[in-house]
Structure 1
Amino acid sequence: MEVTSSAYGTYSSSSSASTPTASEQTDYITFLQMLTTQMQNQDPLNPMEASDFAVQLATFAGVEQATYTNQLLGAMMSQTGLSDLGNWVGMEARIYGGAYFDGSPVELTPDPALGADEVTLIVRDSNGVIVDNRSIDPEGLSYSWDGTDSSGNPLPDGSYTFEIESKLNGETLDTSPVAAYVEIMEARYEGGATMLVLPGGFYVDSSSVTGLRRPVG
């Protein structure tokens, strides 16, 4: 099992194959050994009845068929899973925890406190330092951050986190994180979970996605 850390948390990964489990293989081999031993040690003067032998052969065939069926079902489930993963790729996921800026605007979905008459967007870099602080529309449900600082200077590529401060009559009502829509580059199964690969090499568990949409434009 491999443990990997990212800006969005730590997760474990493991791999499995569509081959019989160790338990299935052990049972299969044990059955063969028992049948062979029984045939080798039978009384020559009172050999096994043909009907008994046929029953055991049928049982042997049943075990073999069950093993093959398990392998086939495992392969089918794997193929279905890959198809499901493909549905994620190319979509835009709404997530909290920040986004990677590479020169293209980052689409945010602010949710100001009810009744706020003043809302400020606060942007922090990967070190937690505030690099941008600007007023936005209190009634706006979306905002496109252009990747510049408070003075309008372009910021370098990298990961940034977002939050908003809501005020009413100059008094702070709430400070809350802001979600961003981020393109999904890849999807994979890791440790029983569906992990999404985002721009900048970040990983996020699909269970943390709060919205999904097709790319805009």
Structure 2
Amino acid sequence: MAGINDVGQSGLSYIDQLKQLQDQKKPDETTGKQDLKQEDFLSLLTKQLAQQDPFKPVGNDQMIAQMASFATVDGIGKMNNQFETLNDSMTSNQALQASSLVGRDVLVPGAAGIKQDNAGMAAMVKLPKSLDNLMVRVEDAAGQLVRTFEVGAKPAGDTRVEWDGKDQNGNPLPAGKYKVRAAGLLDGESKEFPVSTYANVNSVLLGKGNGNVLLNLAGFDSPVRLAEVLEVGKA
């Protein structure tokens, strides 16, 4: 047997024979897995040895190199399977740990939050610099302004703001989804700042094979990833 690209008695080079073998080992339509294993490479190697030119037999270095290649391919396949198993295990552990969040409030990015009956709503504002006066606007689900109030001077960093759940006239507003917006003068210009809101965790679920753990939040149409949670609040 000569090199990888040499042609044997079958008229096909090693690469061509390997491709032909791979075509015969097409992925299963149900599982999507490929059955090409190290035994197949060894079978091909045996055929090559039988078809080699007796006047130019394969050298030991070539034999060792090809065996090493076969072992490497098989080892990579086994390692990938082990990583998949490890990933599944880590995802399950994350889901188990995340189950302790059910019934608790978590802080997630986004200005929209849920107000409960006879209660207010809290949010977190991230300020790049200190402000002389932070202004907060609250809008209902339709985008209508229901309340504005001043928070006053605040330093740079995360600032917690609380809305009492009432409109501009002091009347309690119904439960539902509301949006909190925060703005102020920064370097002489009016700027709006990122806001995060609290939501209650209803349940925990696993992502669709992507290793993500998702949280179903009360009042939210779609789940959020556990990795997006910024803070865990009270139960």
Of 166, 169, 172, 1:148 maps to 166
- SS of residue matched to 2:94: helix
Match of 2:182 in 1: 164
Alignment partner of 1:100 is 2:114: yes
- Shift, 1:150, TM fit: 1.4
Task: Give the direction of change, closer, same or farther, for the CA distance of 1:127–1:177 in structure 2 (3 Å limit).
Answer: farther
Structure 2: which 5+ runs fail to align?
A: 1-29, 41-76
Amino acid at match of 1:99: G
State the structure with bigger RCO (CA 8 A, min sep 6), 1 or 2. Answer: 1
Match of 1:189 in 2: 207
- SS of residue matched to 1:86: helix
Max Rg structure: 2
> Do the aligned partners of 1:88 and 1:186 also contact (CA within 8 Å) in 2?
no
- Shift, 1:27, TM fit: 6.3
- Shift, 1:111, TM fit: 3.3
> How far, CA to CA, are the matches of 2:174 and 2:218 in structure 1?
15
User: Under a length normalisation based on structure 1, what TM-score does the superposition of the two structures give?
Assistant: 0.57
> Do the aligned partners of 1:112 and 1:166 also contact (CA within 8 Å) in 2?
no
> How far, CA to CA, are the matches of 2:216 and 2:224 in structure 1?
7
> Do the aligned partners of 1:95 and 1:179 also contact (CA within 8 Å) in 2?
yes
- Shift, 1:77, TM fit: 4.6
- SS of residue matched to 1:142: strand
> Do the aligned partners of 1:112 and 1:119 also contact (CA within 8 Å) in 2?
no
Task: Give the direction of change, closer, same or farther, for the CA distance of 1:173–1:126 in structure 2 (3 Å limit).
Answer: same
Match of 1:11 in 2: none
> Do the aligned partners of 2:122 and 2:198 also contact (CA within 8 Å) in 1?
yes
**Aligned length in residues:** 158
User: Under a length normalisation based on structure 2, what TM-score does the superposition of the two structures give?
Assistant: 0.53
> Do the aligned partners of 2:202 and 2:218 also contact (CA within 8 Å) in 1?
yes
Give aligned-pair identity as a percent: 18
| Aligned residues: CA RMSD | 3.6
> Do the aligned partners of 2:134 and 2:154 also contact (CA within 8 Å) in 1?
no
> How far, CA to CA, are the matches of 1:144 and 1:212 in structure 2?
16
- SS of residue matched to 1:82: helix
Of 21, 26, 36, 2:31 maps to 21
Amino acid at match of 2:178: Y
> Do the aligned partners of 2:111 and 2:181 also contact (CA within 8 Å) in 1?
no
- SS of residue matched to 2:153: coil
- Shift, 1:166, TM fit: 0.8
- Shift, 1:22, TM fit: 3.5
